Amino acid sequence: MNFSLSDEQRALQQTARAFAQKELAPLAAKLEADNAPLPHDMVRKMASMGFLGINIPEELGGLGLSNLDALIVLEELAKVSSAVAFPCFEANVGPVHAIRHFAPDALKQRIVPSVCRGEMILAVSMSEPNAGTALTDLTTRGVIDGDRVTINGTKRWCSGGGHSDAYLVYTRLSDVTGAKGVGAVLIEKGTDGLSFGEPETLMGFRGVPSADIYLDNVKVPVGNIVVPAGGFAKLMEAFDLERCGNATMALAQASGALEDALIYVQERQQFGKPLVDFQAVQLKLAEMQMEVEAARLLIWRAAVNADRGLPSILDSSTAKCFANQIARNVTGNAVQMMGGYGYSAAYPMERRMRDAWGWGIAGGAIDIQKVNIASAMVGRRFDQRR
């Protein structure tokens, strides 16, 4: 067992950090104020660094590195903000992996390299107005007729909704009820019948566009079926990696907050001495450090245990659940430590606290991760309906 990064991984981390600080940090406050996504030229720049296909095989346009490498880069970018890191999140742990692993070859060859080049941003659209945690209650329906699928339904809370170039839409693809009837299709921007609700205003996640998606007799070729009915387990398998990405985004809110708070408490003086000289502050700092380190180790373990494959549900749910929880604590403590400056929207700390909360709902709420963990511990599924 080796807890150190390799020389190459440390160099990659440094490169990502330098890029994030030089190129992304100057944009973060404006994206937050305008609730605007990262501009396209910066997405391309990220692609030119290889950061939009770190863990994608070279033959599909990626760097061919590991999931751990991707998560190391993602954390450095997301320490700046969720919004600036979001394209990297979607491209390295998002729906592109369901396409890479399970889509027909022609679709894979058309989509995955474009994502790596920064020409195509993908989003995942699972949730519906009446299907959140109970995802398999989804009612969006695709009917296959010859070489076309016609899809009708309403999707909710899609991060990237209205902005992305294509959507991996979870939909029923047969009359079989429950999970067994669910599959997923790729629907591209501009397809007739695809429209969006008003851009949403969330508590955090500013700069990550979000909207309802309306599917009104949307027709796509059958070649756009990424996973047919009966493949829900495959979608969830790919989602185990997204969970590690979600955990990393949460972790980064915490680790970024800790880095800034550490500087602040050594500079800010009260009662004639730096804040860090007060023991109460020292104890808080130590707690924050322990939580951040433990979350990072759980995430990295999930990635390393899976090598280049997809992490297990136990490892990924444990990492996500813990990172989601500590991110709320650590960012809350960091806001408190910085007093009025922590609470002011003129500084990044309160944004991190708001974003941290969202990561514990997105991708499956904290409590359902605990159900996943208990379920894996005893080796059976707990039916939530009975």
For ligand FAD, the binding residues (CB under 6 A) are 123-127, 132-133, 157-159, 202, 205, 358, 361-365, 367-368, 371, 384
Residue 26 vs 129, nearer CB to ligand FAD: 129
Indicate the burial class of 236 (C-beta count within 10 angstroms; 0-12, 13-18, 19 or more).
middle
- For residues 374 and 173, give the distance between their C-alpha atoms in angstroms, rounded to a whole number: 31
Residue 242 Cβ, how far from ligand FAD at the closest point, in Å?
Answer: 9
* DSSP strand pairing (194-196 vs 210-221): antiparallel
Residue 276 vs 368, nearer CB to ligand FAD: 368
Residue 262 vs 365, nearer CB to ligand FAD: 365
SS3 assignment, position 204: coil
Residue 165 Cβ, how far from ligand FAD at the closest point, in Å?
Answer: 15
SS3 assignment, position 20: helix
- Show Cβ contacts of residue 121 under 8 Å, excluding neighbours closer than 6 positions: 43, 87, 90, 91, 115, 160, 163, 164, 165, 166
- Give all strands (DSSP E) within the chain, no chain letters: 122-125, 141-145, 148-159, 166-172, 182-188, 194-196, 210-221, 225-227, 269-270, 273-274
- Show Cβ contacts of residue 44 under 8 Å, excluding neighbours closer than 6 positions: 117, 118
Residue 19 vs 357, nearer CB to ligand FAD: 357
Residue 23 vs 188, nearer CB to ligand FAD: 188
| Tokens read off for 245 | 């990405």
Residue 297 Cβ, how far from ligand FAD at the closest point, in Å?
Answer: 25
Residue 98 vs 275, nearer CB to ligand FAD: 98
Residue nearest to ligand FAD (CB): 132
- For residues 58 and 36, give the distance between their C-alpha atoms in angstroms, rounded to a whole number: 31
| Tokens read off for 137 | 């209650």
Residue 167 Cβ, how far from ligand FAD at the closest point, in Å?
Answer: 9
| Tokens read off for 249 | 């985004």
Q: What is the DSSP string of 309-353?
A: SPPPHHHHHHHHHHHHHHHHHHHHHHHHHTHHHHH-TTSSHHHHH
- Show Cβ contacts of residue 11 under 8 Å, excluding neighbours closer than 6 positions: none
* DSSP strand pairing (273-274 vs 194-196): unpaired
Residue 63 vs 318, nearer CB to ligand FAD: 318
Residue 95 vs 332, nearer CB to ligand FAD: 95
Residue 19 vs 167, nearer CB to ligand FAD: 167
- For residues 319 and 297, give the distance between their C-alpha atoms in angstroms, rounded to a whole number: 8
